[in-house]
C-alpha cells in the first residue's frame, strides 16, 4: 500500500512501513535541535509518534501524559520523539502554554523535554504513513511506532483523530517486546511483568510427547501446542528495566 497524493516532480509515493522493516530515515528540525533519525538513537528503543495539531485538547492531554511518563520510559531504555505538521514556533508556543497554563487531572507545570518534530512539508509524516486521507489530508493521525535499538520497526499502532491513546498499553507493549527478546518467549493477552509467558509450540512429535508427559518440568502445558513458563517480575525488571 502506498501513500499517494496528486504527484508532481516534487512529490514521492512512499510504501507504507511494516513491522520488521528498517525505520525510514530522515533529518528534521525539532524543539530540541536537529536530529538524524534513527541513527541518533542507535542502541535505544524509540517511540516515534504523531499528533494532529498543536493547541488542540486531545493532543495536549497526550503530551502531558507522555511528558510525565518520560522517566518511566527512559528506565526501559526508550526515547520519545513526537511529530506534527505544524511549524517549530507553533510547537514552542504550545509547549510553553502547556507548562504555564494547563492543568489536567493531577498534572500541571508539565515541561515537555523530548523532541517534537517540525514537519510542515509532511515529508516525514508521509514516509511513515501518518497522513491518512480518509481521516484528514492536512493532519497526521495518532500513529505510534515502537522501534528497537537496531532501528527496526517492531510495533505499529494507529488511532483516529478523535481517540486519545492508552499510555499504559504503549508502556506494556514496550516492556513485553523487550521481555520477549530477552527470554526468547512470547507474551499472552494482557501480559504484565510477573505473568506466565508463552513457549513456542513443540517442533516435533517427540518434543510434543515429552511436554505432555511432563518431562520439561519448568513448563505448564495445557496441550502440546500451548505451554507456559513462569518468569518472575524480579527477573523481568532486572533484565529488561535494569533494576
Binding-site entries for substrate? 142
* Per-residue CA distances from 12 to 34, 67, 87, 202 (Å): 23, 33, 21, 46
Q: Give the separation between CA 232 and CA 173, rounded to whole angstroms.
A: 18
Q: What are phi and psi of 40, to 5 degrees?
A: -65, -15
Please give the grid coordinates belonging to residue 194.
Answer: 510477573
Element (H, E) at 188: none
Known active-site residue 59: yes
Other Cβ atoms within 10 Å of 233 Cβ, number: 11
Provide the phi-psi class of 166: left if phi over 0, else alpha when psi is between -120 and 50, else beta: beta
Provide the CA 122 distance to its chain's centre, in angstroms: 20
Q: Identify any residues that bridge with 27 across adjacent strands, giving them in sequence order.
A: 36
Residue 87 CB partners (closer than 8 Å, separation 6+): 118, 120
E strands, 5-141, are 14-15, 26-30, 33-37, 45-50, 78-84, 103-104, 107-108, 116-118
Q: How many CB atoms lie within 10 A of CB 87?
A: 14
Q: What residues are paired with 147 via a beta bridge?
A: 46, 153
Task: Show which residues are catalytic.
Answer: 59
Amino acid at each position: 500500500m502506498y501513500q499517494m497524493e496528486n504527484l508532481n516532480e516534487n512529490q514521492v509515493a512512499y510504501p507504507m512501513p511494516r513491522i520488521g522493516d528498517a525505520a525510514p530515515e530522515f533529518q528534521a528540525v525539532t524543539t530540541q535541535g536537529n536530529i538524524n533519525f534513527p541513527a541518533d538513537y542507535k542502541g535505544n528503543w524509540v517511540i516515534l509518534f504523531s499528533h494532529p495539531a498543536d493547541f488542540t485538547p486531545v493532543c495536549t492531554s497526550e503530551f502531558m501524559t507522555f511528558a510525565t511518563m518520560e522517566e518511566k520510559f527512559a528506565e526501559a531504555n526508550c526515547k520519545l520523539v513526537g511529530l506534527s505538521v505544524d511549524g517549530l514556533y507553533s510547537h514552542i508556543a504550545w509547549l510553553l502554554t502547556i507548562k504555564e497554563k494547563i492543568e489536567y487531572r493531577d498534572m500541571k507545570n508539565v515541561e515537555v523535554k523530548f523532541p517534537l518534530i517540525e514537519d510542515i512539508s509532511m515529508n516525514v509524516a508521509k514516509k511513515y504513513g501518518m497522513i491518512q486521507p480518509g481521516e484528514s489530508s492536512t493532519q497526521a493521525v495518532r500513529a505510534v511506532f515502537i522501534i528497537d535499538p537496531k532501528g527496526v520497526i517492531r510495533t505499529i499502532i494507529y488511532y483516529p483523530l478523535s481517540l486519545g491513546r492508552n499510555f499504559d498499553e504503549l508502556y506494556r507493549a514496550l516492556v513485553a517486546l523487550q521481555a520477549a527478546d530477552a527470554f526468547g518467549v512470547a507474551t499472552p493477552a494482557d501480559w504484565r511483568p510477573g505473568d506466565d509467558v508463552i513457549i513456542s509450540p513443540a517442533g516435533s512429535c517427540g518434543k510434543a510427547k515429552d511436554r505432555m508427559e511432563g518431562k520439561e518440568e519448568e513448563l505448564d502445558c495445557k496441550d502440546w501446542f500451548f505451554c507456559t513458563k513462569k518468569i518472575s517480575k524480579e527477573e523481568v525488571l532486572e533484565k529488561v528495566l535494569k533494576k
